[in-house]
Amino acid sequence: MNLILLGPPGAGKGTQAKRLEDVYGIVQLSTGDMLRAEVDSGSELGKQAKGIMEAGDLVPDALIIDMISGRIDLDDCKQGFILDGFPRTVPQADALGSMLTDKGLQIDHVIAIEADSEAVVARVTGRYTCSECGSGYHDEFQKPVKDGICDKCGSSDFTRRADDNAETVRNRLSAYEEQTAPIIAYYGEKGILKTVDGMADIDVVTAKLKEVIG
């Protein structure tokens, strides 16, 4: 089963994708995570993406499309995948459609997680991640059970993203409204779009997603 999770920064795409991985035995493909790994490794792609990401703008479509196409070909995607943060423009959505047709694959559900702007700013600015296992947390909304210790792996090493500050988030939200929101209508017209209220508690959102996916 192949899914697309849509929604503004901070809607909960990554949080929910990690949970759906376990439920359905499929793999999360986060273009943001993949790009951050490229930046950390100092690759050519990482060098091109770094400044763009720090400003909260979108990385050029052609770079993203090549990156995701290669990723979908890897063995761990055989049972299915969850696209998190891709597609983000109508040209990316078009490219995904033809890419999947060429690979003999298709998207089963496109789910838009809806959340309002003020809430997502608070979510993004309080977000942090376990450096060891990638588990996501929030200063207020999703604290580890034991302060300073990752629930999943026990690490006490956490990181915050360079672009998770109030100013950059505003720009990321504009990029979302202008360039990404139109793909909600795009998938609506194809008849495969579902929406879920992302303002509910994390567990409630997971339950709704499972209901929608069936």
Q: Which residue is nearest to ligand ADP (CB)?
A: 32
140 CB neighbour count, 10 Å cutoff: 8
Chain residues 65-84 in contact with ligand ADP, contact rule CB under 6 A: none
Q: At what angle do helices 202-213 and 13-24 cross, to 10 degrees?
A: 50
Largest CA distance in the chain: 48
Known catalytic residues are: 13, 88, 127, 161, 172
Please select the residue that binds Zn ion; options are 68, 130, 175, 209, rule is CB under 5 A: 130
153 binds Zn ion (CB under 5 A): yes
Please select the residue that binds ligand ADP; options are 20, 28, 39, 85, rule is CB under 6 A: 85
Which has the closest alpha carbon to 131: 106, 153, 158?
158
The window from 96-104, 132-140, 152-160, 183-191 that contacts ligand ADP (CB under 6 A) reads 132-140
The window from 9-17, 20-28, 100-108, 187-195 that contacts ligand ADP (CB under 6 A) reads 9-17
Cis before 182 (ω within 30) = no
Which has the closest alpha carbon to 9: 134, 192, 180, 142?
180
> φ, ψ for residue 64 (rounded to 5)?
-70, -40
Q: Which is nearer to Zn ion, 28 or 135 (CB)?
A: 135
Please select the residue that binds ligand ADP; options are 20, 38, 86, 208, rule is CB under 6 A: 86
Q: From its phi and psi, is residue 205 left (phi > 0), alpha (psi between -120 and 50) or beta?
A: alpha
Task: List the x/- string, 12-51, binding to ligand ADP by CB under 6 A.
Answer: xxxx---------------xx--x----------------
Tokens 């359905």 belong to 24
205 binds ligand ADP (CB under 6 A): yes
155 binds Zn ion (CB under 5 A): yes
Length of the chain in residues, anyone?
214
Q: Which is nearer to ligand ADP, 192 or 200 (CB)?
A: 200
The residue type at 174: S
> What residues make contact with Zn ion under the rule CB under 5 A?
130, 132-133, 135, 150, 152-153, 155
